[in-house]
Structure 1
Amino acid sequence: MTTSDGYTFTLGENVERTSVRFTNRYGIEVAGDLYVPKNATGKLPALAVSGPFGAVKEQSSGLYADEFARRGYVALAFDPSFTGESGGTVRDVASPDIHTEDYSAAVDFLGLQESVDRDRIGLQAICGLSGMALTAAAADSRVKAVATASMYDMSRSMSRGYRDSYTPGQRHAVVDHLSRQRWADAESGTFARGSHEVPFDADGDVAVSDRVLPETLPEGADPVFAAFFDYYRTERGFHPRSVNSTTAWTATTPASFFAFRLMTNIDLLAPRKALLVAGAEAHSRYYSEDVQKTAPDSVDLLIVPGADHVDLYDRRDLIPFDRIDAFFAENLA
């Protein structure tokens, strides 16, 4: 339920939250909330936290940051560029490159805080921002460890479909659709909204929609679709600045995810470690499993019994915070 201060969770009584701003290397101002344990002394470990894809810092990432601050970390929950309260002239456009940079910019900011031990900085990512976090960690040695929850590889998802289900013909059809949309946007002088994971209708044509989720849940909706609806469109997790709660990404957003493959250099993460947490019942579980297989020496996998994808957004009774905390305690030492 959204609280009176606009957050979807209650701030810990021993946690202080401060609104902050920092700039990434593209000159975009990124908006964040800094969570710090009250009365903390000395240099503390720190985490940059973001996600899910289409969410804002008042939702899941803020909940994670609050929980880690309760446990003695300095935690920075931030809105990726172009979303929420962050800068960027075009609103609600996603970029695998710039969203990856946002994590490193968050590390810049954390490393300048007097309360932070800059040699003990990690990343915690949720859902679709997880691929960017792993990519950032591989290319930024200041990141000493990274954990993800309900990880999605958005480049793989957008360019190949769920479980790589796009046929070659469908992939070409999506590229053609996105390419022609660029002309439409250029002619109109605006940026149309559209599905970031482009679906096809019963006739095999690209199905266009200007919302991620509808106003009301259709009868007999797919359980995965219903789970997302239950978080973003109800009092549980709704936020007026969240793309998924209110509208859709810009229609040409998937184009850059066809061109930019995330996690190509995951081998550079070693000898540092990653922990991928996935629900046993999550439709997205295969993303974490496949990444773990590519780098078994540096990536560990934790499967949460009885949890689906969205449960790991906000279900404190299911999110294995003790295990994640232990992972960071060991790898940020």
Structure 2
Amino acid sequence: MKTMNLTTAAITALFGIGLLAGCTNSTTNQKTSDNMKTLNLTQEWDKTFPQSDKVNHSKVTFVNRYGIMLAADMYVPKDASGKLPAIAVCGPFGAVKEQAAGLYAQIMAERGFLTVAFDPSYTGESGGEPRYVVSPDINTEDFSAAVDFLATNDKVDSEQIGIIGICGWGGLAINAAAADPRIKATIASTMYDMSRVSANGYFDTNDNAEARNAFRKTLAAQRTEDFRNGFPKPGGGVPDELPADAPQFFKDYHAYYKTPRGYHKRSLNSNQGRNATEAIPFINFPLMSRADEIENAVLIIHGEKAHSRYFGEDVFKKLKGDNKELMIIPGANHTDLYDNLTVIPFDKLEAFFRLNF
């Protein structure tokens, strides 16, 4: 993979790791307290993709192990009968369920699966305070909480549950599969390893203690400032205008998050981004540390031209067993696997789950 001479701030700004301008918490997302009060969920169809007439859609909620109530869209095939195989979907990192995750979930429901696309803790319509923080532990738990919901649903075959993680949630899906054997099959689509990119920068250009310690000092200073101000500083999502020398993958993100193709008012990447200190837990939390112990099936999918391809290829090398696959889509870039229906291999996704359930 060709390396790029980009500063840590520049290459990580998109994910809220770099410290960009911002000042206030958004009020667009509903809040919930630890007593698990009911979330006020949007009932209108506000997705970035058209509603299918082949599935029934409804809003559902479930609570994770930390007491945070998660909001999800559930899609059920209209011609369904008996107990169904089920899939939980999340991602990309900084997106909401009304974007790529919902698209995947709806199409897989059209193919006979009961699916849920959920907002992670602290994000979108899900609960959790403060808003827009991330946690490799809690966000991995979010996948298992979705499995809890599916495994106890009377429409679901509890022995046929899988997950799909997109972009940064692909890495979290791998971590969830290592932790939760109820997940019979896992797909990581156009995945990021958020621990690796947080600790090392893109293409590992800052993989040294000196760079990490300098980054830690910046993050620590921001923590102090956040505490003094009484609220966390947003890290900045995809900027409205890109610099002339922006890498192509930044341009690809802009073409998705900042245009009608993928913009959503609750999407952090489309707007103010996650909190500027989000990298803190990921730097010291190796998501892939137990990937070699996953016994159930895993499929990793990347575009041939995706800047993120090295994440998936390197994780695939760690996986063991004859039920692990790596699929490279010719000519595709990273964001093509968000919503490009001519590129996303849904026939393969369906066949993979049916083979491994």
The 8 Å contact of residues 139 and 268 in structure 1, kept in 2 or not, is answered as: no
The 8 Å contact of residues 49 and 75 in structure 1, kept in 2 or not, is answered as: yes
Aligned residue for 2:103?
A: 63
Aligned residue for 1:231?
A: 256
The 8 Å contact of residues 232 and 244 in structure 1, kept in 2 or not, is answered as: yes
Distance 1:90 1:299 in 2: 37
User: What is the letter of the counterpart of residue 351 of structure 2?
Assistant: A
Is 1:290 aligned to 2:314, yes or no? yes
Aligned residue for 2:330?
A: 305
Distance 1:150 1:264 in 2: 20
Aligned residue for 1:213?
A: 238
Is 1:157 aligned to 2:182, yes or no? no
The 8 Å contact of residues 50 and 125 in structure 1, kept in 2 or not, is answered as: yes
The percentage of counterpart residues that share the same residue type is: 49
Aligned residue for 1:26?
A: 66
Distance 1:123 1:239 in 2: 23
User: What is the letter of the counterpart of residue 94 of structure 1?
Assistant: V
User: What is the letter of the counterpart of residue 41 of structure 1?
Assistant: S
Give the SS at the match of 1:13.
coil
Give the SS at the match of 2:162.
strand
* Number of aligned residues: 312
Deviations along 1:130-176, whole A, 9 cap, x unmatched?
A: 11111111111111010011010001011111011104322111111
What pairs with 1:243-282 in structure 2 (closer than 5 Å)? Answer: 243-270=268-295, 272-282=296-306
Distance 1:39 1:225 in 2: 41
Distance 1:322 1:97 in 2: 32
User: What is the letter of the counterpart of residue 58 of structure 1?
Assistant: E
The 8 Å contact of residues 278 and 302 in structure 1, kept in 2 or not, is answered as: yes
Q: 1:75 aligns with which of 115, 121, 135?
A: 115
The 8 Å contact of residues 292 and 320 in structure 2, kept in 1 or not, is answered as: no
Q: TM-score when scaled to structure 1? A: 0.91
Give the SS at the match of 2:263.
coil
User: What is the letter of the counterpart of residue 310 of structure 2?
Assistant: Y
Distance 1:328 1:268 in 2: 20
Distance 1:151 1:214 in 2: 22
Give the SS at the match of 1:97.
helix
Give the SS at the match of 1:61.
helix
Is 1:12 aligned to 2:52, yes or no? yes
Distance 1:219 1:180 in 2: 30
Distance 2:354 2:290 in 1: 25
Give the SS at the match of 1:318.
coil
Shift of 1:193: 1.7
Shift of 1:46: 0.3
Q: Which shifted more, 292-301 or 88-97?
A: 292-301
Shift of 1:32: 0.3
Distance 1:265 1:175 in 2: 25
Distance 1:28 1:48 in 2: 17
Q: 2:126 aligns with which of 86, 90, 99?
A: 86
Distance 1:264 1:25 in 2: 22
Is 1:168 aligned to 2:209, yes or no? yes
Aligned residue for 2:37?
A: none
The 8 Å contact of residues 46 and 98 in structure 2, kept in 1 or not, is answered as: yes
Is 1:182 aligned to 2:207, yes or no? no
Shift of 1:220: 4.7
Give the SS at the match of 2:157.
strand
Q: TM-score when scaled to structure 2? A: 0.85
The 8 Å contact of residues 80 and 86 in structure 1, kept in 2 or not, is answered as: yes
Deviations along 1:245-285, whole A, 9 cap, x unmatched?
A: 00121111100101211021112212x11000000000000
Shift of 1:57: 0.3
User: What is the letter of the counterpart of residue 232 of structure 1?
Assistant: Y
Distance 1:212 1:235 in 2: 16
Distance 2:250 2:353 in 1: 32
Distance 1:140 1:236 in 2: 34
Distance 2:309 2:292 in 1: 21
Question: What stretches of structure 1 of length at least 5 have no aligned partner?
Answer: 195-210
Deviations along 1:103-131, whole A, 9 cap, x unmatched?
A: 00000001111110000000011000111
Shift of 1:222: 2.0
Distance 1:56 1:317 in 2: 22
User: What is the letter of the counterpart of residue 55 of structure 2?
Assistant: V
Shift of 1:230: 0.4
User: What is the letter of the counterpart of residue 195 of structure 2?
Assistant: S
Distance 1:299 1:145 in 2: 10
User: What is the letter of the counterpart of residue 152 of structure 1?
Assistant: Y
Give the SS at the match of 1:117.
strand
Give the SS at the match of 1:329.
helix
The 8 Å contact of residues 50 and 79 in structure 1, kept in 2 or not, is answered as: yes
Give the SS at the match of 1:244.
coil
Distance 1:61 1:32 in 2: 10
